[in-house]
Amino acid sequence: MSAAEATLPPLVSVVIPVFNRAGLISRALDSVASQTFNDYEIIVVDDSSTDDTVNCVRNWRGDRLRLIRNPRNGGAAAARNLGVSAASGRWIAFLDSDDYWEPEKLARQLAALDGAPAEFMACATGYYLWDGDRKKTVQFCMPPGRFRVEIRFGCSISPGSTLLAARQAFETGGGFDESLRRLEDWDWLLRFVEHGDIIIVPEPLVHVHRNRTAGTCGGEDPVLQALRHMAAQHLPRFRALGGVARRQFQSSLLIEMAARMYHMKRPIAAIRHVLASLAIYPFRNRSFFAMLWRSITRGWTRA
């Protein structure tokens, strides 16, 4: 590499938010270092960890890494925004600290985006979903433009570790909503599709690990708070798009609320929300019941 090339910004900035993951952060970092595409930088945002995470990052053998420490715990949205603001790459790739990538992940995404129309400002991939020792393969076959409809039914692409997005997407639509401690990725994607679209690489190129640790710390449940916030933010736009779009999104919010009620051991409330969802948008197929099951079995504490 020449001196001139060494001064150029990397094509991709990999943003890894981390909180108390001393035992896992090296695995995530190693998976980035193993990429067949190598024009990248790594930005680790420590969200005020209280374990040995910071020392693990500092002792990691890589030489393209920057560590940013958030003086207070702000949550995943704040950590990702901090990483994006520090990034110098044209593309931003996110990786949760307990997940890891297959070696071809970045190369396959960049190849898919190469030459794509300007509205395709992001790419996501299939993934392996780990629940303890059990592994499930999640793949998507989605024609161009379909994602703008599918996002009304929930966020199933695991954008915390599969998403590669253009810096322009954040400049145009803004960052993640830092008032949300959950579902900030779904909220961001709902705003993103107002001005952009996503290419899906169906092959599983990411290993996503489900975390089922309880995540409420008093006050209003963060998932319910996020769902109410999203209803207030997004339903007016869906009303403008037309009745079907509004009903689809509102029905999905009710399903997510039903799933949370189930986890909170409120089965009657959960059933009421499911019935309300079906009343608002009754035209359901197998994908609806898959979404319902996914919501019920989902872990809500990923950061």
The answer to whether residue 228 is domain-embedded is yes
| Class of residue 219 by CB neighbours under 10 A (exposed 0-12, middle 13-18, buried 19+) | exposed
Given 209, 239, 263, the domain boundary residue is 209
137/244 same-domain check: no
- Segments of the chain scoring below 50 in pLDDT: 1-3, 213-217, 299-303
| Domain identity same for 142 and 287 | no
Q: Is the separation of the CB atoms in 238 and 249 below 8 Å? A: yes
Q: What is the pLDDT at residue 299?
A: 46
Residues 65 and 11 both lie in one domain: yes
The pTM of the full predicted model, rounded to 2 decimals, is 0.88
Convert the pLDDT of each residue in 244-279 to its tens digit. Answer: 888 889 999 998 898 888 888 888 988 898 888 888
Domain boundaries, position 271: 222-297
- Count of CB atoms situated within 10 Å of the CB of 18: 26
- Domain shared by 89 and 130, yes or no: yes
In CATH, what number is assigned to the domain containing residue 103?
A: 3.90.550.10
Contacts of 135 (CB under 8 A, 6+ apart): 128, 129
Burial class (CB in 10 A: 0-12, 13-18, 19+), 137: exposed
Distance CA 97, CA 80 (A): 12
Same domain for 145 and 288: no
216 is a domain residue: no
* In a shared domain, residues 202 and 247: no
Picking from 226, 250, 224, 210, the residue whose alpha carbon sits closest to that of residue 178 is 226
15 and 113 share one domain? yes
Structural tokens at position 246: 């509004």
Q: Between β-strands 120-131 and 164-166, what pairing exists: parallel, antiparallel or unpaired?
A: antiparallel
